[in-house]
Structure 1
Amino acid sequence: MKIDVKHLQKRGVAGWRYRRKIPKELRSTAGKLEILIPLGATEHQALKAYPKVHAQAEQQLRLWSQVQKSPHSGALNVASSPTPFEEFSRSRSQLRALNLDPEWGGPEDEDDAESLMREVIAEQVAEKYPLDTEGNPVGVAAEDRALIHALLLGQRQQRPDPTLEDAKRLYLKERVRDDETKQMELERVFKLVKDALGKNRKLSSLKREDAKEVRDHMLDGRKASSVDRYLNVVRAVINHAIREFDLAGVTNPFMNLEAAPKDKAEPDKDKRRPFTLDEAAAISDRLVSHAKMDLQHIWRILKGTGCRLAEVSGLRVADVHLEHPIPHITVEWHDDRRIKNAVSRRNVPLIGDALNAAKEAFKAAGNAAMLFPTYGRLKGASSASAALGKHVRACVTDPKATTHSLRHLMKDRLRLAGVSKSDQDIVLGHSSGSVGEDYGGDKARLEMARRALEKALAG
């Protein structure tokens, strides 16, 4: 029986769950990006639990909406309220804005000018609040309390230990930024971390035992490969925090922690395989009669360059250089397409059918900024992958063969043509790990890439 119920999702051996994205305008109030609720191990259990869970989700969304509309919503939004470490950092920034020294050591004498200024400002902050019977302000907001402490204590104020939540928020601000897909992944991963550890832990208190507990919790109902990916996120977040928070002596207990021993894990080479030439030809034939022209152009360019799907679907018209002595495309970062890393920025020659496809796509784009307007947007590569995937699966049933298998095929063709490893890396945008890969000009690299592709495609 096929289920077509909104927000109902099957998760392999983990069973069924209710998964619903929270509207953007409510996410800051909710403190998360999705509503995730287990529904049971079987389809029958899921359908039985669904009505009640769906009603609860609707009620929760209404409550978040009411909180957001409330003039005091900031006080009620506990999930996104500042942490003690954030309050401490903010108060020090406020001191600098007031031309006061965050490292002030206290008054030198009873007429110390800075001491008097600090007391006056602290009194002004406290005047906003009512007093108790002993003359002390009550109901002081956390940020005002932190500022008063910073004003009166100076360097005697002890910096709170940053926590996992502080590390996550810093990584979200400085690394993830507005990438919605990575935001959701970060929230999902750290919800698992919190579920495993039970509370928001200080980074300095984390032990290897804690890391293993997180790993084991993640492995409950999930593939080892997925857990390894989640652990990579946790490692990156904690390493970033240790460096940026200057946590001398703090180590990352998630380093070198694996979901499964290497000898038992699925080898990387077995996760995807290259297409055979016959398979690639069969898919090309199917696209001609079943796919829209822009999808055909994307496939043909992928097939003739070995590029990643996002690198082609996100091309701008300005990235296509057809009048150059060596026609090519430029793969680089822009607002509507992220590239994997710095070394992925490169010029890729267009040869044979890939060149013809680029010419046709360039003409079809007209005055558009993007070469493929349907897919040249955030998450456009995912849409292109889903569209191409249907045609791939119609011709090749092996799940290890996907659109990305074209890239593996190009790698094999480069190898079989006797192309050197360094020239393969120039074509595919791989890092060799060598200092020398940063040397040399674009003109020479483009020529080497042209020679390499001509050899590969001639075979």
Structure 2
Amino acid sequence: MLPVNGQVSAETVITLRQALQNYHSLKGTGKDDLFFRSSERFVRYVIEGLGDRPLDRYTSADAAAFRDQLFEKGLSSSSVKRTFASIRSIVNLSIKEYGLSCDNAFAQTFIPDRNDVTKRLPIPIDRLRLIQETCRKTDDDLRWLIALISDSGMRLAEAAGLLKADMKMDHDIPHVSLKPHAWRQLKTANSERVIPLVGTSLWAARRILECTDSEFAFPRFTNATRCNSNSASATLNKWMRPFVPDGCVIHSFRHSLRDRLRAVETPSEIADVLGGWTSKSVGQSYGKGYDLPVLQRWMKRLEEYSESD
């Protein structure tokens, strides 16, 4: 529990998650949903990478390691800076509010300006096919995760945090139902969606259901309290490195999906729905959205394009 009515003792312990609660309570009045979602997401990144510790148990070395995890995950310099700015504010508020004697470990971390263009490259189609072929041959849980992402465009955390029950393989149209879970929230409101499974992603989903005993699709990275997407990112990016050009990371599959959807002339509104991207169109908020057969039709075209020479 947080201290009440300013009663702070020498033994007062405030964890990062409690600091977030305090931040929302004191600064959340009148703020929109983005304020809450983004701060929750940034704190979740820290907890996934470093754990939920008392504020005085984080060190500057921990903060530097966290920075490196974010870059390894594929975040741009501007995104890393935005993450640290939010974490600094959250921690600072509780340090000041409760008169804690510790320093803010996230206050002085250096964030280099990298060439972020190279961090967001799509994976060339010939490289993508090679990766998918290798995933089928290797046929283990790490390759299932890559394969599942490769033809679905899911974010890494979205896929790694799935339950097997989220994969609707007994439906007329096999699909993934992406929704928030206690161990893994979604990045935006638009991220909650259904994705028809095709190609290598469909193969991966079948292998997961056939071979995984846990209720979680990827128990190596996920349990009832946590989805460790940072660990997944580091492991998968290391494995992918020999297969892809410099600048391509696991997140590059999303950029490839967008390019492939463009190549088959998918309407931008449908592409936004499939990828969980925020649309600039006001009209997209009207009506009930697209039926699964419509979404599957465009994913099938994407699959056919990927298989063509």
Aligned pairs for 1:368-407 within 5 A: 368-377=214-223, 378-396=226-244, 398=246, 400-407=247-254
8 Å contact from structure 2 (residues 149, 159) kept in 1: yes
| Distance in 1 of aligned mates of 2:165 and 2:298 | 24
Aligned twin of 2:304:
458
Aligned pairs for 1:353-372 within 5 A: 353-366=200-213, 368-372=214-218
Aligned twin of 1:425:
272
| Distance in 2 of aligned mates of 1:288 and 1:324 | 24
List per-residue Cα deviations over 1:349-374 (Å, max 9, x = no partner): 011332222122112234x3212222
Distance 1:315 1:231, change over 3 A: closer
Structure 1 residue 302 corresponds to structure 2 residue 153 = no
| Distance in 2 of aligned mates of 1:351 and 1:177 | 32
1:167: how far off? 4.8
Distance 1:321 1:339, change over 3 A: same
1:423: how far off? 0.7
**3-state SS of 1:325 partner:** coil
Aligned twin of 2:104:
none
Aligned twin of 1:311:
158
**3-state SS of 1:457 partner:** helix
Structure 1 gap segments, 5+ residues each: 1-27, 29-72, 81-165, 193-222, 238-258
Structure 1 residue 280 corresponds to structure 2 residue 128 = yes
| Distance in 2 of aligned mates of 1:420 and 1:269 | 25
Q: Which has the higher contact order (CA 8 A, sep 6+)?
A: 2
1:345: how far off? 0.1
1:181: how far off? 3.5
**Partner letter of residue 126 of structure 2?**
D
List per-residue Cα deviations over 1:306-341 (Å, max 9, x = no partner): 111111111112111112221101011001222111
| RMSD between aligned residues | 3.9
Identity of aligned residues (%): 28
List per-residue Cα deviations over 1:7-50 (Å, max 9, x = no partner): xxxxxxxxxxxxxxxxxxxxx9xxxxxxxxxxxxxxxxxxxxxx
| Distance in 2 of aligned mates of 1:395 and 1:402 | 10
Distance 1:171 1:311, change over 3 A: farther
Q: Give the TM-score, by structure 1 length.
A: 0.45
| Distance in 2 of aligned mates of 1:369 and 1:358 | 13
**3-state SS of 2:120 partner:** coil
1:301: how far off? 1.6
Distance 1:440 1:267, change over 3 A: farther
8 Å contact from structure 1 (residues 426, 445) kept in 2: no
**3-state SS of 1:452 partner:** helix
Q: Give the TM-score, by structure 2 length.
A: 0.65
1:74: how far off? 5.7
| Distance in 1 of aligned mates of 2:126 and 2:207 | 25
| Distance in 1 of aligned mates of 2:123 and 2:276 | 20
| Distance in 2 of aligned mates of 1:412 and 1:224 | 23
**3-state SS of 2:9 partner:** helix
Distance 1:226 1:455, change over 3 A: closer
**3-state SS of 1:357 partner:** helix
Aligned twin of 2:86:
233
8 Å contact from structure 2 (residues 132, 150) kept in 1: no
Of structures 1 and 2, the larger Rg is shown by 1
**Partner letter of residue 75 of structure 1?**
S
